[in-house]
Structure 1
């Protein structure tokens, strides 16, 4: 079977799926965002040489770029980990027909090379290389360096595949990064110096591109072996035996008709791997303020402190809430076939986020150490999360029709399954909204006025709870059957 046939099958699957029916507006916004980043990276590539030359006239711009490439690639790997959707393909039908497994696996891996995340860095490296040639740098060295950068970018693509699919690679890489960071922090050894020397060698020795080429081949082969290992039909249908403990959560009965939904959510979180990871991630959000409150840089920019304050109490809301109703995708059809009002389902999710914000606010009490102004900012952020961000999150769920597998051992910590670019767009008002609401009265009046307006906006949203839930319920109702159909699609 040729690759063109695979492409034909996937195009038909995409065209017939519910994702093809999503709003054209979202697609236009995503296209505009892609064009913006392409323009930004291209512009940076064209002016980087001259900016460095102006700022550091005593240094060679290519040397400066090479010295900081390690941070570029770490940042590249980070946003890939959270944003890049790994290739998926319905392989079960091909397991039953005479198609070589190697052909399917090679197609799946080669498909990752066409990701937007592999093309985006090229819009910086290629213009920068062109400027180097214009400035009379040796052609063979510039081309060798450019090829090496392309190969490193592709290597990150396959490394991201491994760390997303295997905990061993993920924890090993994280331990290595934290180890190097600790060595630098305690002035034992600065790994960035060695990295700078390495990338400078990549430029001075044109044939050094063979090193990233070898790395790319090794990572490709490792990915191939990893996928082939589990490429069996019986691996997909094998049952796993578990010891299940029952929990009643009778204390939730006081919530009346919403109690069954709340109990179901708590059991889902406590019994499944993916929700546990998200719960742990939301706990880590409590320490987010340490990044901002300990830096004098942000003391004159309180809008950024508001950004941190919203994150401190909104960890669970932002991480767990953004995947409503995907958490229930495995039994969503059964849930929707019951004689229950949609309103109760949504309100139970809202109360779960409300309790999480309150608990986070209580756990954030030690931030009083940084002053009462900071703690008041956290309180205002908590009120905003309850009164507005919670409803924005539920609204975003109506646009999220990507199913989530609750127990996927092959996935590493920070599993991004269920994430899609639409959620990123919905996240923007949740992150930038409170900053803007605070900043305008802060700039026009004073700091306290900004906090007061931020808190009042949350209180107003809380007073309009019924109105918001009614509107959100109608949106969920309209897309109910599209959501059910999307959750039934097997990747």
Structure 2
């Protein structure tokens, strides 16, 4: 316990000494505001769901319990851009007489205590009060909420396992894809799905405080905990001891010569492509995001999603995911060689132009993947185009402002032994990238028809895209005014 508290204190001190600590404090208010917005959103849906099935043959909690696995799958996907693997600084403590296993245990315990695991309770608590309490009283509500929290712990350690394995080798993406694909097949192919029956039984067991249900749930948590412990310990050992693969051979190296026609901007576009496609960390993040976009696009096209708000969320998620992964830490990778970039006049401006061109062009990937859904009538063509223009317009405009204030180097080598904690401003931008567009959509839909809302989003996106040259110039000029502060931060935060 003493070690846990001591490492927690070290983590707080490290955050305070972070070059971006002051900006993180400024962003906390807006982060809390976005959290309150999403909490209100979940409370609204939980309350609405409780009343939606009044008068039906089954109680609302029976219907929700049958879909618990779907909620867990959605929770898994939403963790991807927000929840980081618990990468406490392990390396300095390896020189002390502390067992590596104890350090890993502390990482896993801190992950289980993360408040993110409680966020879905904003949905389940009002729902349980309105539905479960009528039949099982306060005790039923408490045991049901406790069971839901245990399921979120299962999801937390399951996500941690998948994320850790995918950071080591991209092919591990097939693990969650295969698991959720098998669950989906078991749900929808048989006429009487055993998955729905199992999920309903688990939910009923939580409500009725069935000991076997709770024992089984805790056993699954323990199994995933021990698996995570073994996998993370092995990977941390390999990284600290610099165990590298030596059998990989490069058969073909692309120089992207077609970009030479664009001059200095083209050179930096080549640099950005090489960073994304050759560096292991960036490449795995890119492939992981691509796999999620493929999965979401297939779900939009080939599943029956009756709620239009959910379809809009998935479409927006597909467009926004790449930007959140790479633009919230914009200039972080360049912090490794910022001194070389600053030696050439206006090279940062050309770099910003190149980044904007690359990530805007990258939006073609989710657009093409979601075209089948538009052809099948699941989403409108105009809605697809409006999000396609709005995200690289307005949302990317917001994300590129971080280029002025980011001054923490993102390491290109270490995956497990570096502190991978986003600053307050970066977390705010990530929340805003999801929350602000949805809030705008909700407000505009309230006052206008759907077609009018889509045109408004399209026009806003076009305005920011066509004026990108001017606001990128403004970002560059503000960066130059802070260049010495930023360069000092980049140097101080490099891994040594």
Partner of 1:352: 358
CA RMSD of aligned residues (A): 4.6
* Secondary structure class of the residue paired with 1:117: helix
Partner of 1:473: 476
TM-score, normalised to structure 2, is 0.76
Unaligned runs of 5+ in 1: none
Larger Rg: 1
The offset of 1:330, in angstroms, is: 3.8
Partner of 1:421: 427
8 Å CA contact 1:92–1:233 kept in 2: the answer is no
Selected match of 1:225 from 225, 230, 245? 230
> How many aligned residue pairs are there?
479
Partner of 1:270: 277
For 1:295 and 1:145, how far apart are their aligned partners in 2?
A: 29
For 1:141 and 1:71, how far apart are their aligned partners in 2?
A: 22
1:151 aligns with 2:157: no
The 1:114/1:336 distance shift into structure 2, 3 A limit, reads: farther
* Secondary structure class of the residue paired with 2:401: helix
8 Å CA contact 1:113–1:157 kept in 2: the answer is yes
For 1:455 and 1:394, how far apart are their aligned partners in 2?
A: 20
For 2:458 and 2:142, how far apart are their aligned partners in 1?
A: 56
Deviations 1:47-68 (A, max 9, x none): 589637x714654555444333
The offset of 1:490, in angstroms, is: 4.5
Partner of 1:51: 51
* Secondary structure class of the residue paired with 1:237: coil
Moved more, 327-336 or 260-269: 327-336
Q: Superposition pairs for residues 80-479 of structure 1, below 5 Å?
A: 80-122=79-121, 135=134, 137=136, 144-167=143-166, 171-187=174-190, 189-190=192-193, 191-204=195-208, 206-208=210-212, 209-232=214-237, 235-241=240-246, 243-244=249-250, 246-277=253-284, 279-280=286-287, 281=289, 285=293, 320-357=326-363, 369=375, 375=381, 378=384, 382-384=388-390, 388-398=394-404, 404=410, 406=412, 420-428=426-434, 431-432=437-438, 435=441, 443=449, 447=451, 455-479=458-482
Deviations 1:308-366 (A, max 9, x none): 87777777666655553334344345434555532111112123235445687788887
The 1:440/1:326 distance shift into structure 2, 3 A limit, reads: farther
For 2:218 and 2:191, how far apart are their aligned partners in 1?
A: 32
The 1:270/1:72 distance shift into structure 2, 3 A limit, reads: closer
TM-score, normalised to structure 1, is 0.77
Moved more, 229-238 or 76-85: 229-238
Unaligned runs of 5+ in 2: none
The 1:193/1:88 distance shift into structure 2, 3 A limit, reads: same
* Secondary structure class of the residue paired with 1:137: helix
The 1:223/1:132 distance shift into structure 2, 3 A limit, reads: same
Moved more, 215-224 or 332-341: 332-341
8 Å CA contact 2:20–2:406 kept in 1: the answer is no
The offset of 1:196, in angstroms, is: 0.9
Greater RCO structure (CA 8 Å; 6+ sep):
2
8 Å CA contact 2:403–2:475 kept in 1: the answer is no
Moved more, 287-296 or 176-185: 287-296
The 1:141/1:271 distance shift into structure 2, 3 A limit, reads: same
